[in-house]
Amino acid sequence: MCGRTCLTLDSKEIQCCCKYRKTSQKKPLPPEYRNEFNCGRKYFPSYNIAPTDLSPVLVSAAHFNEDTDTSERIIVPMMWSMIPRWHKGDYRKHGLTTNNCRLENLAMSKLYGFPLHSGYRCVILCEGFYEWQTTKELKASERPAFFIHMPQNENVKMYDKSTWNFNEGGITLLKMAGLFDIWEDENGDKLYSYTVITLESNRKFSEIHHRIPAILETEEEISQWLDFRRIGVNRALNLLKPSESIQWYSVSNIENNSRNKSDQCNKPSKDINFSKNNLMRNWLLIKKRSNENFDVDEGSSSETKIKKI
């Protein structure tokens, strides 16, 4: 599953990290960054992006211009948590949990079937995501938290932006496969929203959580996922698998509270050394931390559940 992400880059920095090479190009170029109206909502860089926040995603430019080749990419801020296109009224009150969707149920889903079969595929961009260890011995609010990211160059530290060099391409973003849709309010204003696709974890990640976002690791995978005209639904879904490349380190659980946007969210936790044989020590450490004045939003550790419609 995925309940919190981190993206602290501005639009120019995101473009720098997303350079790609089209067939006719000799060198990689950044995709266009396109600001849609989105009912007046905007993307703000954050160490703690939560469902209903806006964050940038990659999509095929052909979704906005039918004459454009599907291999061309653009970056568009969209709201995390897909709004059902049939929903009327306040977009925040549709009553469904749509920040994640299960790969196993996509093809037959009443909610996700339309965007899937219409080619509304996207790539969610982030520096990494947070995950909480699924441990029966601890309450959801007390579970050890981890920051998951892609491998970086030797001198790059994910929690230290002074080590990032945008003259050399910035950092390697973590890119998750997702679906998006377009919702209109009573005035005809559009709001773009997305959901992250999850699947069963592999052995590498299963000790942290039994679900994992579908992470696209190569340029070829990204191109095929976005190319909705040439790559059909079944072939696209077969691209999705648990990542073998991801890395992670322990962090504090302050990002449980979606209102906490502090740069401490993705800092390594020096006093946590979680293992199956060390539950009691971690329980005591987490209890000690709970004395800090942080409210807990347990939505970060809840599984996605779609109501039957």
Is there a catalytic annotation at residue 127? no
> Which helix or strand (DSSP H or E) is residue 221 part of?
helix 219-226
| Residue 284 pLDDT exceeds 60 | no
Q: Which is the catalytic residue, given 2, 6, 18, 265?
A: 2
Residue 198: which residues within 8 A CB-CB, separation 6 or more? 1, 2, 100, 101, 102, 103, 211, 212, 213, 214, 304
> Which pLDDT score is estimated for 1?
63
What is the bridge-based pairing of β-strands 190-200 and 100-102? parallel
| Residue 295 pLDDT exceeds 60 | no
Domains of the chain: 4-301 (3.90.1680.10)
Residues 244-272 have pLDDT tens digits of 999 999 999 898 899 999 999 999 987 44
- Dist. CA 80–CA 52, nearest whole Å: 5
Q: What is the mean pLDDT of the chain?
A: 86
- Dist. CA 253–CA 265, nearest whole Å: 8
| Residue 309 pLDDT exceeds 70 | no
Buried b (16+ CB within 10 A) or exposed e, 245-254: ebebbbbbbb
| Residue 159 pLDDT exceeds 50 | yes
- Range 227-252 average pLDDT: 96
- With bands split at pLDDT 50, 70 and 90, how would you rate the model's confidence at 224? very high
DSSP letter at 67 equals T
Residues 203-215 have pLDDT tens digits of 999 989 999 999 9
- Dist. CA 40–CA 173, nearest whole Å: 27
- Range 268-283 average pLDDT: 50
Would you tell me how many other CB atoms lie within 10 Å of the CB of residue 174?
25
Is there a catalytic annotation at residue 104? no
Would you tell me how many other CB atoms lie within 10 Å of the CB of residue 283?
17
Q: What are phi and psi of 53, to 5 degrees?
A: -75, 160
Highest mean pLDDT among 139-148, 150-159, 295-304: 150-159
| Residue 81 pLDDT exceeds 50 | yes
Question: The whole model's pTM is what?
Answer: 0.85
Question: Which of 25-34, 203-212, 268-277, 278-287 has the weakest average pLDDT?
Answer: 278-287
Q: Which is the catalytic residue, given 17, 126, 131, 255?
A: 131
